[in-house]
Chains A and B, each alone.
Chain A
Amino acid sequence: MRTPDVSRRRFLLGSAGVAALLAVPSCAYMTPKAQQATTKPVEPKIDGDLVYFNWADYVDPSVFEGFQNEYGVKVIQSNFDSMESMQAKLAAGNQYDIIFPSAQWVQKLVVANQLHTIDPSTLKNAPLIFDHYAYFADPWYDAKSAHSIPFSMYKTGIAWRKDKLGETLTGGWSDLWNETSKGRTFVLDDRDEVLGMLSLLLGYELNTAGDRELGNIVDRFRSLRPYLRGFSSDDYNNLLSGDAWMHQTWSGDMAALLWQAEDASIYGFEAPSQGTPINSDTYAIPINARHPGTALLFIDYMLRPENVEKNINYIGYPMPVHGTEGAYQEIVADYPECTVTVADLARGLYFSNDSVAKTQARDAAYTEMKVGL
């Protein structure tokens, strides 16, 4: 009989919250234990199997195999599907040796004393990053990169169908208001990306939370709504299925699009002139990791240029490791604007953290935009 299933489904769908609450033990509500602000740097030595926590399919499986063979340890994998769910698992007390937070989340975790200290001089391959990408020597999210090592970089731009909208667009965020693409334009379903896009267009600070600015952003978005087909973070699938002719898109997803498209030449990617938000993912070791030494060796192993190239060819994201730039250039040869340059990084268009009140003000504005009044 199907009836019990109904109540379960209602339970899940009607109140996703109940499910989420069940998944996270009550310790999520306790104040995090006060920790020393600076811990001793992790030593690179094998101290057990590697418990790995990342987005699904973000590392070439042969790279894992190589690590397991070389160091004689196992890699125990689990995946998250958003930074928020990663945080929920960490807050619940789950122990992982290595995680891959975005820059914004590194800052949050560092402030909360949730990450081990990493001394770059203990990593043989660290100079490949820090000697060539000076930006990462002291990034905004983690002073002196003391708790994180950069993994990948990406920017947000516009992808479009050249066969429907033409070979070139005007090169600005206002391209989203395209008459021909009306009803086939998508924005990312991401609060920071949508608010950030409008902030750049209106000349505001990327992370603005001012009442007047948010009001203007909501107003301006109202004029984009009639053009929109949807809010979706499934950018390359929407383009591949033909539902989207124009899509606010993460540069990293262009590689997936190119690899899966029957005819890749009908797609274009532009980095709008008002600026593109830049983001980076990192390697970090949670403070409660049981095998931090193995994790540190894993980072060093991952930074070997041959492994970086394998991963670039597997996920299609550029990585700030000297000598591997060519591998990425090859993938996006037809979309030069996907490349994240040192100059892009220096422009400082990062999504940063703010007080809870300001974050909630931004969230309320985004909800208003999504609902549409």
Chain B
Amino acid sequence: MTHESLPPRPARKERLWTWMLVPGTAWMSVFFVSALLLLIALSFGTTDALGNPRFGSTLDNVIGVFTPTYLRVIIRSLTYAVAASVICLVIAYPVAYAIARHGGRYKNALVALLVVPFFANYLVRMYGWQTLLSDESMLMTWLRHLGVSASFHILDTGAAVIGGLVYGYVVFMILPIYASLERMDGALIEAGRDLYGSSLRTFFTVTVPASRAGAYAGLALVFLPAMGDFISSQLLGGPDNLMVGNLIQEKFFAGQNWPLGAALTMALMVLLLICMFAYLRQTARDAKEARR
């Protein structure tokens, strides 16, 4: 059926849909947009003797973001977030594939099993990892018995921070990939085989393109929160693993410099917006190709 043959929608129905946007828009403008505007305004502000923020018009905070100290931490956060996203993809794809293609009647139960651990708060789970990985924990004692050197430790390293991010967000990668693979018609793979494609070739020419949108969505869902995370680095990281989220948190709390914290937050958001824009363009391009 082509677009032209559709009957025109009654105007009244259109208006109803428009009205249904009102509660959401109101909620977002009060609690999100206005807070965001406050934050933008505050990044030009100053601080009084009690540490209370005051609105102002200084550029010091914005300029302050562009010092080597902060740039270094921002680059480190980018590296960690990219590494975590890639590792999540490598872990999530086979898991999603196995459940979607071979899960059979246990599919839903398997997905539920993946999701259940995430009912516990992220912070609590990170404390769990901290206990598990600490130097005199059962795990480390056991590793030393197996001959690992006594000076070896996992806690307070970059690997532990990236591991924490992967553990924290991997489910957001599995679910969209699972959804796209689950939606895929199994007959497509059979067709690929009927056309004498090897299983590997069929996988790369049929399955991967079909699940690409899910993988992109997963990458965005993991990368964005990982970039701003501070809990993993705070609980599992050492002195060389500080992320930009930690700096922002510190400026708002112990540092009592909300304006600088606000400026750092803005910098992070601009960076994330650029990534988000790239993601949206890529998915739009893919969608266009798929229609062709």
Partners in one complex: yes
Interfacial residues, chain A to chain B (CB-CB below 8 A)? 2-3, 6, 9-11, 13-18, 20-22, 28-29, 32, 82, 84-85, 87, 91, 108-109, 111-112, 183-184, 189-191, 225, 228-231, 241-243, 353, 355-356, 359-360, 363-364, 367-368, 370-373
Partner of A10 from B171, B225, B238, B247 at Cβ < 8 Å: B225
Separation in Å of the A29 CB from the closest CB of chain B? 6
Q: How many A-B residue pairs have CB under 8 A?
A: 155
Contact A29 B254 (CB under 8 A): no
Bound-state Cα–Cα, A109 to B249, Å: 24
Bound-state Cα–Cα, A368 to B68, Å: 9
Q: What 9 new A-B contacts, CB under 8 Å, besides A229-B238, A242-B136, A371-B247?
A: A9-B122, A10-B225, A15-B228, A16-B265, A28-B53, A229-B156, A241-B136, A356-B47, A367-B247
Given A112-B50, A241-B135, A370-B239, verify A16-B248 contact (CB < 8 Å): yes
Partner of A13 from B52, B231, B237, B253 at Cβ < 8 Å: B231
Contact B239 A228 (CB under 8 A): yes
B224 within 8 A of A: yes
> Which chain A residue lies CB-closest to B36?
A18
Partner of B31 from A3, A22, A112 at Cβ < 8 Å: A22
Contacts of B97 in A (CB 8 A): none
B178 within 8 A of A: no
Partner of B239 from A108, A191, A225, A359 at Cβ < 8 Å: A225
Bound-state Cα–Cα, A270 to B68, Å: 37
Task: Determine the main DSSP class of A at the interface with B.
Answer: helix
Separation in Å of the A282 CB from the closest CB of chain B? 17
Q: Which of B260-284 contact A (CB under 8 A)?
A: 261-262, 265, 268-269, 272
Binds A, one of B14-22, B38-46, B101-109: B38-46
Given A84-B256, A191-B254, verify A91-B225 contact (CB < 8 Å): no
B115 within 8 A of A: yes
Partner of B49 from A20, A243, A356 at Cβ < 8 Å: A356
Separation in Å of the B218 CB from the closest CB of chain A? 11
Max chain A CB contacts within 10 Å: which of B47, B69, B153, B221?
Answer: B69
Given A14-B245, A21-B42, verify A231-B49 contact (CB < 8 Å): no
Contacts of A108 in B (CB 8 A): 49-50
Contact B239 A13 (CB under 8 A): no
A-B contacts, 28 of them at CB < 8 A, read A6-B224, A13-B229, A14-B224, A14-B265, A14-B272, A15-B39, A16-B245, A17-B258, A20-B258, A21-B38, A21-B42, A29-B54, A29-B55, A32-B50, A82-B254, A108-B50, A225-B239, A230-B237, A243-B136, A355-B49, A356-B46, A363-B257, A367-B69, A367-B250, A368-B69, A370-B242, A371-B72, A371-B247
Contacts of B221 in A (CB 8 A): 3, 6
Interfacial residues, chain B to chain A (CB-CB below 8 A)? 31-32, 35-36, 38-39, 42, 46-55, 68-70, 72-73, 115, 118, 122, 131, 134-137, 151, 153, 155-156, 171-172, 175, 221, 224-225, 227-231, 237-240, 242, 245, 247-250, 252-258, 261-262, 265, 268-269, 272
Bound-state Cα–Cα, A373 to B118, Å: 37
Contact B69 A2 (CB under 8 A): no
Contacts of B247 in A (CB 8 A): 367, 371
Contact B49 A112 (CB under 8 A): yes
> Which chain A residue lies CB-closest to B47?
A356
